[in-house]
Amino acid sequence: MKKLTKEEKHRQCVREIKGTLIVVAICCIWHIATAFLLNGSGLYFLGMPAWFSVSVLGTIVLALAGVAFLLKKVFVDFEYDDETEEM
C-alpha cells in the first residue's frame, strides 16, 4: 500500500475517475455505433441479429479489457483515511 500526501491522493482519485469515464465512454460508443451500423444488415450471429450479438458481446469484452487495463495501469492501492485523526 502506498503512502501518499493528501494532494497526491486527490490527484490519484481524479486520475482513476477520468480513466473509468474513458472506458465507459468507449463501451457506450461501441455499443451504440455497432447497433446502428449493423441494424438492418440481415446478418445473424449465434441465432440473433448481428447488431445485437456484436453490440452486446463486444461491449462485454471491451468492458473486461478496460477494467483489466485500469487495474494494471491506473488504479493504485492506498489508504484514503486521514492519518491526522489520532486520539
Residue 7: which residues within 8 A CB-CB, separation 6 or more? none
The full set of domain ranges for the chain reads 6-74
The neighbour count for residue 63, using CB atoms within 10 Å, is: 16
Half-sphere exposure (CA, 13 Å, Cβ side) for 83?
A: 7
Tell me the pLDDT tens digit for each residue of 31-81. 999 999 999 889 998 899 999 999 999 999 999 999 999 999 999 998 877
Distance of CA 46 to the CA centre of its chain: 26
pTM of the model: 0.84
